[in-house]
Amino acid sequence: MIEILIFHLHLTAALYAFTKNWQKRKIRDAILALMIIGLLFTIGWALTSPISRIMPRHWESIWFTRDTLSLVILAIPESLFFYFFFVKDK
């Protein structure tokens, strides 16, 4: 269930990056920002998924699974990346 919230936050961040790059630059840069966010998400989730195997099976519930743990681990470096490349003005 927490995965839905995390996916929603990713969608919101992608829309923010798209809109900001579209307004300040060109549509090409906005599409490139979406592609970078999507690439970082897919590669990051593939890399953090094996790390989530440290969680014992008996800790899993309907709210928190191994996929949730891998998405939470992924959210930490993604938030830093997002802040430095899309939120912080140069």
User: DSSP for the chain?
Assistant: -HHHHHHHHHHHHHHHHHHHHHHHS-HHHHHHHHHHHHHHHHHHHHHHTTGGGGS-GGG--SS--HHHHHHHHHHHHHHHHHIIIIIS--
Q: Average per-residue pLDDT in the chain?
A: 91
Categorize the per-residue pLDDT at 90 as very low, low, confident or very high, splitting at 50, 70 and 90. Answer: low
Q: Report the number of distinct structural domains present in the chain.
A: 1
What is the reported pTM?
0.81
More confident residue, 57 or 18: 18
More confident residue, 1 or 33: 33
Domain housing 64: 2-87
Stretch 19-38: mean pLDDT: 93
Is-contact 56 81, C-beta < 8 A?
no
